[in-house]
């Protein structure tokens, strides 16, 4: 899972996820590319990525593919002793928005030169704005920041809502 911290583009993400057994949505499976999950085919079209409804989520087809490959591979069921269990446990108990800054989230969606240009944090949970990496222009968004992203003092994004943290 630590390879996710080094992923900078959707295209690279899809290649890595394909190596874990997931096919593009709509490519020989029952999931539709139009639902715009991570594994949609149109990963290089920035206008499509901008209008995605589910940019941080995997479709049921992708989740099933990951589970199927993990069931077949016994190397992941044996302890390897090559990772720090404490570090892993700290990693998995955090929401994506706690691990990735707003700028990081924009870079993951659009590439290295994109940054967050949001003015009002109150709406970031359902409408995050990033700069176009080629022009630097702030683009209107149709999806929100990742779960766990801070959206105000003592608040974070859960779903598309800014709610008080427990």
Whether 33 and 112 share a structural domain: no
Domain stop point among 68, 93, 118: 93
Q: How many domains are contained in the chain?
A: 2
Q: What does the alpha-carbon distance between residue 8 and residue 106 come to, in Å, rounded to a whole number? A: 9
What is each CA distance from 124 to 24, 25, 117, 135, in whole angstroms?
28, 27, 10, 22
Q: What is the pLDDT of residue 101?
A: 94
Q: What is the pLDDT of residue 90?
A: 78
CB 163 within 8 A of CB 156: yes
Domain that holds residue 37: 1-93
Domain stop point among 76, 93, 110: 93
Whether 82 and 104 share a structural domain: no
Domain stop point among 50, 68, 93: 93
Whether 100 and 165 share a structural domain: yes
Whether 127 and 153 share a structural domain: yes
Could you tell me which of 56, 59, 139, 136 has the C-alpha nearest to residue 99? 56
Q: What is the pLDDT along the chain (166 residues), one digit of tens a residue?
A: 333 333 334 444 555 565 566 777 777 788 887 777 777 765 444 445 555 566 778 888 888 888 887 777 665 556 556 667 788 787 788 899 999 999 999 999 888 999 999 888 889 998 899 999 999 999 877 679 999 999 999 999 998 899 999 8
Whether 13 and 87 share a structural domain: yes
Whether 76 and 127 share a structural domain: no
Q: What is the pLDDT of residue 77?
A: 57
Q: What is the pLDDT of residue 10?
A: 46
């Amino acid at each position: 899972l630590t390879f996710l911290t080094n992923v900078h583009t959707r295209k690279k993400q899809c290649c890595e996820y394909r190596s874990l057994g997931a096919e593009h949505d709509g490519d020989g499976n029952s999931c539709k590319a139009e639902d715009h999950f991570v594994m949609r085919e149109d990963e290089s079209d920035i206008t499509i990525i901008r209008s995605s409804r589910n940019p941080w989520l995997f479709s049921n087809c992708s989740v099933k593919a990951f589970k199927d490959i993990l069931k077949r591979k016994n190397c992941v069921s044996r302890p390897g002793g090559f990772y720090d269990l404490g570090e892993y446990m700290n990693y998995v108990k955090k929401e994506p928005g706690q691990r990735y800054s707003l700028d990081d989230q924009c870079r993951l969606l659009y590439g290295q030169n994109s940054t967050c240009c949001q003015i009002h944090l109150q709406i970031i949970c359902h409408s995050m704005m990033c700069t176009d990496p080629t022009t630097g222009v702030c683009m209107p968004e149709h999806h929100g920041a990742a779960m766990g992203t801070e959206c105000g003092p003592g608040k974070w994004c859960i779903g598309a809502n800014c709610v008080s943290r427990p």
